[in-house]
Structure 1
Amino acid sequence: MELVTFSNESNANSSKDCDTEDVVERFIYPTAYSVFFIIGFPANCLSFYVACLLMRKGNTVAVYLVNLCVSDLLYTITLPVWIELSLGQPVDSTLCTLIACVMYNSFYVGSGLLCCISVDRYLAVVYPFYFGWVREVRTAVVVSAMVWGFELIVHVHLLAHSGTLGSFSAQRLCEERMPMRPADANVAIVRVALGFLLPLFLMAFCFHQIIKALNDSVSLEAAERRKIRNLLLLLLVTYMVAFTPYQVVMLLRAMLEVGDCGNALLLRNYYMVFVATTTINSVADPIIYCLLSESAKTELKAILYNGRVTLRKLQHSGRDSVISSVVRHD
């Protein structure tokens, strides 16, 4: 569910809300968000743990993955609240505002971190003997902090532009306003440009250059090049499938909906469905970026091996205790 705002009193007379039935929320959101939560929460927790292990070993990408997992976890833990709202259950307005802000910021922080990962891999593959300082752990930490800070600054600025920040304490951000105001439409266009088109262009450019460099490499076997190429394609396609429909509808809303209830009602159900599909990215991120990488697989195998060893020790210890107890009893 996208972060949207109520109108304040000064705007109440200039733009009247449209009457609509929340069919999509009632019938799709509870099921979809429940599935996304059940899969996404444990997957992101596991990925966070694996990424932390890799980060301790000096893996630069792991720093971005840790932050990406935090972003996706923050996104994921808001889903139960949205499920409650879609079922018509009362939710405290302050909690509603808080989880809306968390969900929205996580959405665009994730895009920024994906760009960081793409650029890091681009520099590592295309310019392996240059920009070494960029691919250091401390640089990745600073860049990650800058991504979070930049998103916060932009978010505050957009809230101020739409008139929401001035009466933030009196407004709650969980309800959809229909139709859009001109200020909301301008904010939506900025979000589409900075939060989707720019990251998409940057990732596509980096992936294209990486594939080109791999094809020119004589040290990699054809099977290895094909494996990396397919992984990069999977990353890009997943991002596009998760976000393109939603961003297209957002752009259409900004262009057609302002002051027009007819277009607002026409686009609403599409918009609400595609808001739900953006959650696919939070579920796919840990699987693609962490659980499918070779270094992550190595860590997972080590975790499973250590777990089996610990389990055997506990079993043997328990069996020895029982035998000792029986012997003493006899």
Structure 2
Amino acid sequence: MGNHSHNQTCVTDDSFKYNLYGAVYSVVFVLGLITNCASLFVFCFRINMRSETTIFMTNLAFSDLLFVFTLPFKIFYNFNRHWPFGDPLCRISGTAFLTNIYGSMLFLTCISVDRFLAIVYPFRSRTIRTRRNSALVCAGVWILVLSGGISASLFSTTNTTNNSTTCFEGFSKSIWKTYLSKITIFIEVVGFVIPLMLNLTCSSLVLRTLRKPATLSQIGTNKEKVLKMIVVHVAIFMVCFVPYNSVLFLYALVRSQAIANCSLERFARTLYPITLCIATLNCCFDPFIYYFTSESFQKSFYITPHLKTGSFFKTETPLTKFALPAAQEDMSHQAITNGADLMSESNF
């Protein structure tokens, strides 16, 4: 595996990343600004009935938009290779990036768990799946991602060399060894590994529930909607987040010299910018997912002002229908409504 002296003389050239970042960030800024502003407008002004999933989606769109607002500064920096905006704004842009990446994964996980509860345990979960609890969970997610983002950005100070100022790069090996490697491991476990396991587990349990003959006869055509939202949801993780976080782990190992191998360092430095760009595209994908997989989101674009969005929730087929005695019908109304709301609000 080579040694430290070999690692110190390893010549790597990842300068291609500047033009790549500048080009991708430009596309993400335009698409992300338009689509996420439209999404927040729909969630805030066109959907009158606030369900648990709507709360998660609103926070996800807000997280995406915060990141998009910092992109003009990043675009200027990468095309000019100079950061003239000062150290505080450098820290803010770094925090916004980490908040978006890991906030997106956590909010998508919240939606996945909410879907799991509504489909697999529609009646038992009716006391858990409330708007108040959803708001508390979102507050917890924001505290968690902001804490991790701010901790990492403490080291994103600007450095000036040869009349050029860098931002959020060029950390020394000692910082990687003592601080950044530990922060990276914490972020990877809490922000990626645990959410990925939860998403895969919830999706597999939902699929197992759909395979039951009794459930299939009760769900009917909604089975296709559930399958579609699971496929799209898992695809986001596999395409946007798995490559980036896998390479990030290797990148942290070579930068902290836990692995001193020149070939691996070149490999990590080459793939890291590419996977990072793919990860940032998630804020462009999310609004399209809202539209193409949520019937209520689609209808909100053309409903008339005097109609309430809640009426659409009532007309959609619930995820689960159980033949209950009349005495229990009213007690289970809320649980069935939750299942219906989930399908109309979050069909992924």
Which TM-score tier does this pair reach, normalised by the shorter chain? Answer: 0.7 to 0.9
If the length of structure 2 is used for normalisation, what is the TM-score? 0.73
Counterpart amino acid of residue 252 in structure 2: A
Match of 2:201 in 1: 205
Counterpart amino acid of residue 220 in structure 1: I
Identity of aligned residues (%): 27
Indicate which of 134, 137, 143 corresponds to 1:149. 143
Counterpart amino acid of residue 294 in structure 2: S
Indicate which of 12, 27, 39 corresponds to 2:31. 39
Indicate which of 70, 78, 85 corresponds to 1:92. 85
Aligned length: 285
Instruction: Give the 3-state SS of the residue equivalent to 2:171 in structure 1.
Output: coil
Match of 1:292 in 2: 293
Match of 2:228 in 1: 230
If the length of structure 1 is used for normalisation, what is the TM-score? 0.76
CA contact (8 A) 1:29 1:83 kept: yes
Match of 2:239 in 1: 241
Matches within 5 A, 1:104-253: 104-156=98-150, 158-159=151-152, 165=154, 174-177=168-171, 181-183=176-178, 184-216=180-212, 217=215, 218-221=217-220, 223-253=221-251
- CA deviation after TM superposition for structure 1 residue 273, in Å: 1.3
- Distance in 2 between the 1:57 and 1:17 partners? 61
Pair 305,37 (structure 1): closer, same or farther in 2 beyond 3 Å: farther
Range 26-35 or range 180-189, more displaced:
180-189
CA contact (8 A) 2:156 2:169 kept: no
Instruction: Give the 3-state SS of the residue equivalent to 2:123 in structure 1.
Output: coil
Counterpart amino acid of residue 50 in structure 2: G
Whether 1:103 and 2:102 are equivalent positions in the alignment is no
Q: CA RMSD in A?
A: 2.9
Structure with the higher fraction of residues in helix conformation: 1
Instruction: Give the 3-state SS of the residue equivalent to 1:301 in structure 2.
Output: coil
Structure 1 runs not aligned, ≥5 long: 1-14, 307-330
CA contact (8 A) 2:117 2:125 kept: yes
Pair 244,275 (structure 1): closer, same or farther in 2 beyond 3 Å: same
- Distance in 2 between the 1:280 and 1:40 partners? 9
Match of 2:75 in 1: 83
Instruction: Give the 3-state SS of the residue equivalent to 1:302 in structure 2.
Output: coil
- CA deviation after TM superposition for structure 1 residue 26, in Å: 3.1
- CA deviation after TM superposition for structure 1 residue 168, in Å: 7.9
CA contact (8 A) 1:52 1:62 kept: no
- CA deviation after TM superposition for structure 1 residue 261, in Å: 8.0
- Distance in 1 between the 2:10 and 2:132 partners? 50
What is the CA deviation profile of residues 134-164 of structure 1, one whole-angstrom value per residue up to 9, with x for unaligned ones? 22212211111111112233445x54xxxx7
- CA deviation after TM superposition for structure 1 residue 17, in Å: 11
- Distance in 1 between the 2:289 and 2:274 partners? 24
